[in-house]
Amino acid sequence: MKNTGLPLHSHPFASQFKPLIITAIATGGALHFLAPVLAEGTAAGTDIINRATATYSDGTTNFDAISNTVTIKVEEVRGLTVTDAGFTDTNGGSIATNDNLYFDFLVTNTGNADAFVYIPGTTALGPLATGGTITSVEIVAINGANLGTAIAVPAGGNSTNNLAGFPNTGIVGADQNFKVRVTMAVTATNAGDVVKVQFGNTLDNNVAPANGTQNQQNIRNDSDGAANASDVYTLDADGTLAPANGEREAAASHLEYVATAPRPLAQTTLLMTSTTAPGALPNDARDDTITYNLDFRIANNPRPGFPAGSLEGTTINLDGSNQQRILVSSTVPPNTVWNGTPPVVPNGNWIPVYSIDDAYVGTENPINGVTWTTTPPVDSTTVKRIGFVYNSGVSGALPPGTTVNGFKFTVITSGLPIGGGTVANIGQIFGETFNDPDNNLVYDESGDQNANNYDDGVFPPNPHISNFTANPKTGAADINDPDTNNNNTGVGPGGESNVIAILPVPPGNSALLNGPNNVPNAIGPTNIQDDFTNAATTVPTPGVQGSASDPAAVTITNTVKNTIGTNLDNVKLLPFAPNATNTLTGGVHGSDANIPVGTTVTIQFGAQIAVYTYTAAGVFTPQGGNPPVVIGTLTPGQQKSYTVAVDLPAGTGQIQGYTIPIVAFVDNDSNNSFVSTTDTVYNFTNNRVYPGFVNLIKAARILDRDGTTQIDPPSTPPSYTSTPAGRAQPGQFVEYQITYQNISEPQPASGGGNVLLTGNGLVIDEDGTAAPNTWAAITTHRQNTAATLGTLQFYNGAVLLGNTDPASGTVVTRYVNTIPSLAPQVTGTLTFRRIVN
């Protein structure tokens, strides 16, 4: 016995169909997609090749980048699909008792040989229906052409070769289709009652691996033991060769509700990052600052049955009364106080608000029990929450596709111990879907990329509301559930906390400072000995990360300074091996093995030049026995700048960093070498060179025709691979994802003043017509294009189609993602879908 249960959503294991044109029809107020005309299909074994390119700048120099190449072969397919082809209430309006409803299903031979198709009749389909009686089954169109007279399917069902009037003796050719109309008389009476037609019946639900599934596509017809009267399945039409994968069956269903219509849903994602800065006391963590940055977006990708909605306000207690506002909220974390500087808002429509209700003490949450005021308390240390409100009643609801960036506020870590500690925070956003009759709350916490607090891409059974219990959380951060990278890539239920370690700068040798240009007092990740300057250089031929290159030389400017009240004489400069530097300073200076043998380092101060070559022994050997560059005497408070040119040798791996420590020291014994026990006044700085600093990684996954079921890689979805092992069948999806990252070192949480590399004007270019790519001609665009950062543009050749995701089936040959600025260690993705022709 096959299952006749009523899942809220069908999850067909899709199979192979070969779309040429995707046609949208609107019936009964719902939008459905058909494939009335199908292409011959891409030849088996054809390579679908995809490689992305990018351009960006460090503010001075332009760089090119390429991703790895992903190749997927096209599989040979045979089979059958049944797809929901629309729904019509014959009298229009909402569904009511006694209405006659048409449920259309498109049956397609997705194999590459002729076939007959068996069609069940009213007798077999009746028990599978819910909320009504099946009164007729008819064929109403063949290959997209409506029939003048419908072909009746007998109550007991039959195959196309036995149906009078079916052309070509009932043969359904490869890639041909016909539309079946199932008519139902509604018997359901209550609003919200399910009305459903099940056309076809796949796989016994009591037999593994189905276990409750339905509406599978192109499965073996003997998967449930044999052909059954309620099945839609193929039969051999030529009598010569049996299909290699056996006869196939498929099923689909359509579900409606009595007197209901689809409701929009606002899907909002809140993002939080933080930056730190040391205070005036270098050995005390109690005067450091943390600046929290909050941004949010409203998705423009509707879920099936739930159109994308606009965000409007929800009820909060503001200035002594209940008011409707969109609220972005965060806390002043424990052991910190608000610094009193007015929070930054993105524009004049947003107003900062304050509360003295402590998320870490009470049980209130920002919309239930917390009182907000637009007037900051006189004593800034009493503020426990900071928020931002938007009056949608005045300024209008925020539509799908809206991005709001630039909320900021700063706290002081005054409550931490002198020796430092950890500070955790989280952000929340509250609102409602515009015109939602039930005023359901829309709510999200920061720390990940999921909207509405849904768990890692899982859309809950009731998507009208956010995924939370009776009330949202209080707003208190959980230090044990961190967004580890401070970039909203956390995983797990709900949001993830922004966790920052605040550490004091340990005492250092500070009489002589050596650091980035005009910032000799910069602080690195550990102390004043491992500050750094990041610099990028170009390569003749861009390649993937680690591929051999011959980078151009790059010049870095450093500055030394005397911080004491007496002269520092005989100050000299040398490159120094990383391992020995690590041991000496306890800092972060890379490793000896990281520097390519043959690297040359040229230090110049005025007319003095000293050139060094890095050897296999892990030392910098001076060329020609030249003595080190001599800065000479630094008077009290005096600083001087010098340059370091780094020339990495041919064969150097690109898109990774190479750290060269430079030591400035007082050469007490004038022997032109640095020995810390003798030359006790010294300071290091790191010059780090990147042959390209934006990394591109291309990956893909193969999805079945439902666009949901992941076929390859065989791991927990959604997951991607750069080396697909599976083959994509015509009609299946290939979902590509390009991940880009600025790999350069960021500003340390407890440091400052270091010179960073920002990827300016980053343009990710996915051009399917540019060699070696072949994907533009072999696949067709499908919606659900998504970019986590920046803006999107869609092209057909040189023609710009706009920046809104085109309808499925539109000819799109190029996707362009422009990111104005990519900070160190920030990662983004561009994801787009194609369907194999």
Percent of the chain having pLDDT more than 70?
Answer: 88
pTM value surpassing 0.95: no
Average pLDDT of the residues in 615-623: 95
Report yes or no: 19 and 780 within 8 Å, Cβ to Cβ: yes
- Residue in 758, 754, 790, 767 with CA at minimum distance from that of residue 63: 758
More confident residue, 259 or 230: 230
Report yes or no: 443 and 452 within 8 Å, Cβ to Cβ: yes
Residue 803 has pLDDT above 90, yes or no: yes
Predicted pLDDT at 650? 97
3-state helix, strand, coil in the chain (%, to 5): 5, 45, 50
Residue 460 has pLDDT above 60, yes or no: no
Residue 810 has pLDDT above 60, yes or no: yes
Average pLDDT of the residues in 266-271: 92
Residue 15 has pLDDT above 50, yes or no: no
User: CA-CA distance, 14 to 45, in Å (whole number)?
Assistant: 21
Predicted pLDDT at 502? 77
User: CA-CA distance, 199 to 194, in Å (whole number)?
Assistant: 16
- Residue in 198, 181, 185, 197 with CA at minimum distance from that of residue 97: 185
Architecture of domain 77-257: Sandwich (2.60)
Q: What is the band of 260 on the pLDDT scale with cuts at 50, 70, 90?
A: low
Backbone angles phi, psi at 452, to 5 degrees: 55, 30
Predicted pLDDT at 57? 96
CATH code of the region 539-691: 2.60.40.2310
Q: What is the band of 505 on the pLDDT scale with cuts at 50, 70, 90?
A: very low
Report CA dihedral (446, 450, 453, 458) to the nearest 10 degrees. Answer: -160
Q: What is the band of 42 on the pLDDT scale with cuts at 50, 70, 90?
A: confident
Predicted pLDDT at 356? 96
Q: What is the DSSP secondary-structure string of 797-827? A: TTEEEESS-PPTT----EEEEEEEEE-TT-E
Residue 637, by phi and psi: left (phi above 0), alpha (psi -120 to 50) or beta? left
Q: SS3 for 133?
A: strand
User: CA-CA distance, 660 to 575, in Å (whole number)?
Assistant: 7
User: CA-CA distance, 650 to 630, in Å (whole number)?
Assistant: 30
User: CA-CA distance, 303 to 301, in Å (whole number)?
Assistant: 7
Predicted pLDDT at 44? 59
Residue 504 has pLDDT above 80, yes or no: no
Q: What is the pLDDT of residues 378-427, one digit of tens each?
A: 999 999 999 999 999 999 999 999 999 999 999 999 999 886 788 999 99
Where are the CATH 2.60.40.10 domain residues in the chain?
Answer: 77-257
Largest CA distance in the chain: 109
From residue 505, alpha-carbon distances to 292, 510, 530, 546, 693 in Å are 22, 12, 11, 34, 28
Average pLDDT of the residues in 639-651: 97
Average pLDDT of the residues in 668-686: 94
Residue 38 has pLDDT above 80, yes or no: no
Residue 201 has pLDDT above 70, yes or no: yes
User: CA-CA distance, 1 to 205, in Å (whole number)?
Assistant: 8
Residue 11 has pLDDT above 90, yes or no: no
Predicted pLDDT at 210? 44
Where are the CATH 2.60.40.2310 domain residues in the chain?
Answer: 539-691
Q: What is the DSSP secondary-structure string of 48-70? A: EEE--EEEEESSSSEEEEEPPPE
Predicted pLDDT at 264? 82
Q: What is the pLDDT of residues 511-564, one digit of tens each?
A: 999 999 998 989 999 999 999 999 999 999 999 999 999 999 999 999 999 999
Average pLDDT of the residues in 106-114: 83
More confident residue, 111 or 378: 378
Q: What is the band of 184 on the pLDDT scale with cuts at 50, 70, 90?
A: very high
Percent of the chain having pLDDT more than 90?
Answer: 66
3-state secondary structure 99-111: CEEEEEEEEEECC
Average pLDDT of the residues in 73-89: 81
Average pLDDT of the residues in 706-722: 92
Residue 29 has pLDDT above 80, yes or no: no
Predicted pLDDT at 716? 87
Predicted pLDDT at 167? 94
